[in-house]
């Protein structure tokens, strides 16, 4: 636990900090919160790579070209939702593979079609239903964040018309 003296010293040091100065330094510092903070900790799971998420995040930043803190926060949320949505598809594939493998154990030469696997999976429990609800929730969040982001960009454009 930090003492009051340590907290005061940290605050004084923070006031003197100049932050990154080069373009490269600024682009690296943009993902510090993701790399070192809560977001990366909770977004990247045990079977995923932090570097892959960081690359994915940079692609979103490059595609959206956010300006200012709020737009960067929105793009971070967009990237996180998109990352989680990718995970849904991996989970679905894994579930079908697992169900198919479980039901074909001991059988020789008897392929199980995807529709049979789906029928058995949906009849066995509500795992696929839960996954679908999870997917819809992420899609709604992603859609809303994208709307917010583009509304903000539109507002910025209307305030500062481009010279043509």
Instruction: Encode pLDDT of 28-83 as tens digits.
Output: 665 554 444 444 557 888 888 889 999 999 999 999 999 999 999 999 999 999 99
- Total domains in the fold of the chain: 1
Element spanning 94, H or E: helix 69-104
> Among residues 55, 57, 54, 88, which one has the least CA distance to residue 75?
57
Residue 146's pLDDT band (cuts 50, 70, 90): very high
Whether residue 150 is contained in a domain is answered as yes
Whether residue 86 is contained in a domain is answered as yes
Whether residue 6 is contained in a domain is answered as no
Whether residue 7 is contained in a domain is answered as no
Residues with Cβ within 8 Å of residue 37, at least 6 apart in sequence: none
Residue 121's pLDDT band (cuts 50, 70, 90): low
Mean pLDDT for all residues in the chain: 77
The Cα–Cα gap between 97 and 91 comes to 10
Residue 158's pLDDT band (cuts 50, 70, 90): low
Q: What's the whole-number mean pLDDT along residues 100-125?
A: 66
Question: In the predicted model, is pLDDT for residue 161 greater than 60?
Answer: no
Per-residue model confidence (pLDDT) at position 154 = 83
Whether residue 40 is contained in a domain is answered as yes
Whether residue 8 is contained in a domain is answered as no
CA angle 12, 15, 19 (to 5 degrees): 130
Which of 18-32, 67-81, 131-145 comes out lowest in average pLDDT?
18-32
Per-residue model confidence (pLDDT) at position 22 = 76
**24 lies in which domain range?**
20-159
Whether residue 3 is contained in a domain is answered as no
CA angle 79, 69, 146 (to 5 degrees): 40
């Amino acid at each position: 636990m930090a003492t009051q003296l340590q907290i005061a010293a940290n605050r004084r040091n923070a006031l003197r900090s100049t932050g990154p100065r080069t373009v490269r330094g600024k682009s690296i510092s943009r993902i510090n919160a993701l790399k070192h903070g809560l977001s990366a900790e909770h977004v990247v799971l045990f079977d995923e790579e932090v570097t892959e998420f960081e690359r994915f995040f940079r692609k979103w930043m490059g595609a959206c070209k956010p300006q200012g803190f709020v737009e960067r926060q929105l793009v971070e949320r967009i990237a996180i939702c998109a990352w989680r949505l990718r995970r849904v598809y991996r989970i679905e594939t894994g579930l079908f593979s697992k169900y198919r493998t479980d039901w074909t154990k001991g059988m020789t030469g008897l392929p199980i079609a995807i529709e049979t696997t789906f029928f058995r999976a949906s009849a066995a429990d509500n795992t696929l239903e839960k996954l679908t609800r999870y997917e819809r929730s992420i899609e709604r969040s992603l859609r809303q964040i994208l709307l917010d982001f583009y509304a903000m960009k539109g507002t910025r454009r209307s305030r500062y018309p481009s010279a043509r």
